[in-house]
Amino acid sequence: MSGHFISFEGTEGCGKSTQLGLLAERLRSLGREVRELREPGGTVLGEELRQILKRRSGSGGMTPEAELLLMNAARAQLVREVIRPALARGEILLCDRFYHSSLAYQGWGRQLDLKWVRTVIDFAVGETRPELALLFVIPPEVSVARRQERERRQGLEPDRFEVEDDGFFRRVAEGFRAIAAEEPSRFRIIDAGGTVEQVRAVVWEAALAVIQTRGPGGSG
What residues line the site for ligand TMP (CB under 6 A)? 38-40, 71, 96-97, 101-102, 105-106, 161
Nearest-angstrom CA–CA distance, 188 and 73: 27
Residue 3 Cβ vs ligand TMP, minimum distance, rounded to whole Å: 21
By CB atoms closer than 10 A (0-12, 13-18, 19+), residue 100 is buried
Closest alpha carbon to 50 in 21, 170, 59? 59
Residue 29 Cβ vs ligand TMP, minimum distance, rounded to whole Å: 25
Q: Which is nearer to ligand TMP, 106 or 211 (CB)?
A: 106
Helices marked H in the chain — which ranges? 16-29, 44-54, 64-78, 84-88, 99-101, 114-125, 140-154, 166-182, 196-214
Nearest-angstrom CA–CA distance, 51 and 40: 9
Q: Which is nearer to ligand TMP, 29 or 154 (CB)?
A: 154
Residue 53 Cβ vs ligand TMP, minimum distance, rounded to whole Å: 6
The answer to whether 110 and 165 are in contact (CB under 8 A) is no
Residue 105 Cβ vs ligand TMP, minimum distance, rounded to whole Å: 3
Q: Which is nearer to ligand TMP, 35 or 97 (CB)?
A: 97
Closest residue to ligand TMP: CB criterion: 105
Q: Which is nearer to ligand TMP, 83 or 211 (CB)?
A: 83
Q: Which is nearer to ligand TMP, 105 or 187 (CB)?
A: 105
Residue 207 Cβ vs ligand TMP, minimum distance, rounded to whole Å: 20
What string of DSSP letters covers 29-53? HTT--EEEEESS-SSHHHHHHHHHH
Q: Which is nearer to ligand TMP, 111 or 213 (CB)?
A: 111
Residue 176 Cβ vs ligand TMP, minimum distance, rounded to whole Å: 11
Nearest-angstrom CA–CA distance, 172 and 100: 11
